[in-house]
Amino acid sequence: MIPPDIDRKTALFLDLDGTLLEIAAGPEQVVVPPGLPALLADLHRLLGGALAIVSGRSLSDIDRLLQPFVASAGGEHGGSLRFGDGSRVETPSGLVVPEEWHRALRDAAGRWPGVQVEPKPHGVTVHYRLVPERRDDVWQMMRALVPDDHPEFRLLPARKAAEIALRSVSKGHAVESLMARVPFQGRHPIFVGDDVTDEAGMSAARQFGGKGLRVAEVFGGQPERVIAWLRRGADRLSEGGSPNLAPIGTSP
Return d(Cα 107, Cα 230) in angstroms, integer. 42
What DSSP line would sit under 143-174, residue for residue? HHHS-TT-SSEEEEEETTEEEEEETT--HHHH
Question: Is residue 234 within 8 Å of 214, Cβ to Cβ?
Answer: no
Per the annotation, the verdict on 15 as an active-site residue is yes
Maximum Cα–Cα distance across the chain: 57
Return d(Cα 110, Cα 94) in angstroms, integer. 28
Choose the catalytic residue: 5, 7, 15, 136.
15
Return d(Cα 152, Cα 171) in angstroms, integer. 17
Dihedral of the alpha carbons of 143, 146, 149, 154, in degrees to the nearest 10? -100
Return d(Cα 176, Cα 173) in angstroms, integer. 5
Task: Classify residue 160 by burial, with Cβ atoms within 10 Å: 0-12, 13-18, 19+.
Answer: middle
- Distance from the Cα of residue 38 to its chain's centroid: 18
What's the distance, Cα to Cα, between the start and end of the chain in Å? Answer: 12
Residues with a catalytic annotation lie at: 15
